[in-house]
Amino acid sequence: MRSRLASAAVTAVLLVAATGCSSDKEGSVGPSESAAVAPTPSVDVFEGPASRPALWPDGVSATLRAVERVPSEWGVDVADSDAIIRLTLEVSNASETPLPVDPSSKEMTLLYGPSRAEGKAVTSSRHDSPAEQKQKGLDLDGGTEIPAAGTATFVESRLVPVDQLDSLTVRIELPSVDGIREPFTLTQVEKLLTTVR
C-alpha cells in the first residue's frame, strides 16, 4: 500500500512538472513567433555632399560658396608641406527668429584624410588697405546674429597637408534658438577646391 502511495505521489509530481514545463514553453516566444517589429521612425541625416546645401528641419541652411587654396604668403609662417584652405560659407535663416552668433565660436571645422583630422589654425598676414584685406583676408566674422529671413557669410581658413587635399570634409556647427543644433558634415569638399593665384 505504501509503495502504491509513493508511486502515485511520484507520478503526480512528474505530471505537475511536465505541465509546468509545457506551459512555460507555450508562453515563450521563439524567433519565428515574434511579434511584428514596429517601424523605425525616420531619422534626420546630418551628412551630405558639399555640392548641396546643408539643411536643418527649422529652415536654416548653409552652402559652401567657395573652397580655395590661397597663396601661402597670405598667412604667417606657412610650411611648404601645408596649404591654406579658405572656406566661404553662406547661411540662410528661413525661420522667423534671428539666430544669435557667438563671435568666439567656429561655424566651420575643416577636416582632412580618412580619419578626418582637424586642420590647423593659420594667422592672416597684415594687409594695408581694406580692399586688399577683403581680397586676401583669411577670416570674416559674419556678425552677432543671422537675421530672420536673412543671410550671413562666414570665412574661415585652415592649414591642410598638401598630400591630403584629395580628401576634405567640413563640419558645420551653427547656433540655434534653444542653443542646440546637430552639426552637419559636408563630404567631398575637395571637388569644390579651386586655386587662387
| 38 falls within a domain | no
- Single pTM value for the model: 0.76
Angle at 74 between CA 156 and CA 89, to 5 degrees: 20
Task: Say yes or no: 139 and 183 in one domain.
Answer: yes
Task: Say yes or no: 179 and 121 in one domain.
Answer: yes
Listed in sequence order, the residues at least 6 apart from 93 whose beta carbon sits closer than 8 Å to its beta carbon are 59, 60, 99, 146, 147, 148, 149, 150, 151, 152
Task: Say yes or no: 19 and 84 in one domain.
Answer: no
DSSP assignments along 88-154, one per residue: EEEEEE-SSS-EE--TTS-SEEEEETTTTEEPEE-PBPP-SSHHHHHHH-S-B---SEE-TTEEEEE
Task: Say yes or no: 17 and 69 in one domain.
Answer: no
Residue-number span of the structural domain to which 88 is assigned: 48-195
| 40 falls within a domain | no
Task: Say yes or no: 95 and 60 in one domain.
Answer: yes
Task: Say yes or no: 142 and 80 in one domain.
Answer: yes
**CATH number, domain at 54?**
2.60.40.1240
| 123 falls within a domain | yes
| 33 falls within a domain | no
Q: What is the pLDDT of residues 155-182, one digit of tens each?
A: 999 999 999 999 999 999 998 888 678 9
- The two beta strands, 54-55 and 184-187, are unpaired
Task: Say yes or no: 90 and 187 in one domain.
Answer: yes
End-to-end CA separation in angstroms for the chain: 111
Instruction: Name the pLDDT band for 104 (thresholds 50, 70, 90).
Output: confident
Task: Say yes or no: 110 and 164 in one domain.
Answer: yes
Overall residue count recorded for the chain in this entry: 197
Number of domain units in the chain: 2
Q: What is the pLDDT of residues 8-60, one digit of tens each?
A: 444 444 444 444 444 444 454 454 444 555 544 444 579 999 999 999 999 99
